[in-house]
Amino acid sequence: MTQASELGRVVVLYGGNSAEREVSLRSGAAVLAALERSGVDVIGYDPADGGLVGLEALAPDRVFIALHGRGGEDGTLQGALELLGIPYTGSGVLASALGMDKQRTKLVWQALGLPTPESLMLDADADWDDIVARLGLPLIVKPVHEGSTLGISIVDSREALRAAYHEAARFDARVMAERFIRGEEYTVSLLGGRVLPAIRVEVPSGFYDYEAKYNSNDTRYHLPCGLDSAQEAALGALCRQAFEAVGGEGWGRVDVMRDGDGRFWLIEVNTAPGMTDHSLVPQAAAYSGIDFDTLVLRILTATLEPRQA
């Protein structure tokens, strides 16, 4: 078992300047506390305060990335850490950049024949009638490079589509529309090559938005998820394939919808999932007998191993 002294000085990166700053602060605080309880020499650092120069001044031996959104999980930070020669948690540059881009992730999945809902890119001059004709109603409009469901809308009419586009465009210059899958929502976490038990998410409002994810106490997380063993095994295998397709490593999460015919549809991959008290990876790990402190330590300990080429 890895000793805390083997990890050297660890910096937990959290906060940042993305739209997910508040969630990142909560994730980072939880990770920092866990590592302190494990006896790790650890300090928290918000790059919004001093950027990479401030991080270098701390002379870390390795970094735990608890930054969400752009600037944290989109490959830019990973590239900087590669140049600085500082080991870090989670996926590398390519997988981080690709996973943050929902539309290009879908293109990779489609190329491999993996099931993901049809989508179309939008702009201010889009033919709204054509979008509706091709994707049907309802449909989902979302920023391509945002997480935590920021800027996402469920559109029930052609008239609402334009407004949904402009709402998403507040968060990102690239906006997509996606065919709506009516059914159950599942999420599958991956840890060091292991597929953790699936969670079925149930939201009274029917939409797992920012409030439902991080603040509401009404959201229900079903563990076990309710699938039979064969169905859950198939779901886990699909999510592992989807994660590996984008080059994911270390740990992550894949979100999936199951339609009325029982078919699974890949929605998105998350290469730096939340670690708050409402987050899904810690719940799946706990159900598997991995407490939060052990989970955090396992994610960090993976930085002692050579990164995949």
Q: Does the bond joining 138 to the residue before it have cis omega, within 30 degrees of 0?
A: yes
pLDDT in tens, 238-266: 999 999 999 999 999 999 999 999 999 99
Sheet containing strand 9-13, edge to edge, reads: 41-45, 9-13, 62-65
pLDDT at 273 over 60: yes
The Cβ of residue 35 has, within 10 Å, a number of other Cβ atoms equal to 23
- What distance in Å separates the CA atoms of residue 304 and residue 93, rounded to the nearest whole number? 18
Question: Rounded to whole angstroms, how far apart are CA atoms 266 and 153?
Answer: 18
Annotated active-site residue in 20, 73, 185, 209: 20
Q: How confident is the model at residue 105 (pLDDT cuts 50, 70, 90)?
A: very high
Q: Provide the pairing of β-strand 139-143 with 183-191.
A: unpaired
Number of Cβ atoms within 10 Å of the Cβ of 85: 6
Most confident of 66-70, 85-89, 206-210: 85-89
What is the SS3 assignment for 111? helix
> Catalytic: which of 214, 248, 249, 279?
214
How many angstroms separate the CA atoms of 180 and 83, rounded? 41
User: What's the pLDDT band for 35 if we cut at 50, 70, 90?
Assistant: very high
What does the alpha-carbon distance between residue 272 and residue 293 come to, in Å, rounded to a whole number?
Answer: 17
Q: Give the pLDDT score at 297.
A: 97
Q: Report cis status (omega within 30 of 0) of the bond before 306.
A: no
Has 214 been annotated as catalytic?
Answer: yes
Q: What share of the chain is helix, strand, coil (3-state, %, to 5)?
A: 40, 20, 40
* From 146, 255, 258, 279, active-site residue: 255
* pTM of the predicted structure, to 2 decimals: 0.91
Q: Is residue 79 flagged as an active site residue?
A: no
Q: Which residues pair with 252 in a beta bridge?
A: 190
> What's the sign of the alpha-carbon dihedral 244, 84, 76, 73?
positive
Which pLDDT band, with edges at 50, 70 and 90, does 58 fall under?
very high
pLDDT at 219: 83
pLDDT at 1 over 80: no
* Identified catalytic residue from 75, 151, 252, 274: 274
Q: What is the pLDDT of residues 120-159, one digit of tens each?
A: 999 999 999 999 999 999 999 999 987 657 788 999 998 8
Query: Does residue 159 have an active-site annotation?
Result: no
For the segment 87-100, the average pLDDT, to the nearest whole number, is 96
- Please report which confidence band the pLDDT of residue 102 belongs to, taking 50, 70 and 90 as the band edges: very high
Q: Does the pLDDT value for residue 211 go beyond 90?
A: no
Q: Is 148 annotated in the active site?
A: yes
Residue 277's pLDDT band (cuts 50, 70, 90): confident
Query: Strand 62-65 to strand 119-122: parallel, antiparallel, or no bridges (unpaired)?
Result: unpaired
Residue 34: pLDDT band with limits 50, 70, 90 = very high
**pLDDT above 70 (res 216):** no
Residue indicated by tokens 């969670």? 199
Q: Is pLDDT above 90 for 286?
A: yes
Choose the catalytic residue: 28, 146, 268, 279. 268
Q: Which of 164, 114, 129, 84 is nearest to 269 (CA)?
A: 114
Q: Which of 24, 148, 153, 189 is catalytic?
A: 148
Active-site residue among 72, 253, 258, 279?
253
User: Which residues lie closer than 8 Å to 35 by C-beta, 6 or more apart?
Assistant: 10, 12, 42, 64, 296, 297, 300
Rg, Å, the chain Cα set: 19
Q: What is the pLDDT of residue 292?
A: 96
Residue 27 falls in the annotated catalytic set = no
Active site residue 255: yes
* pLDDT for res 307: 79
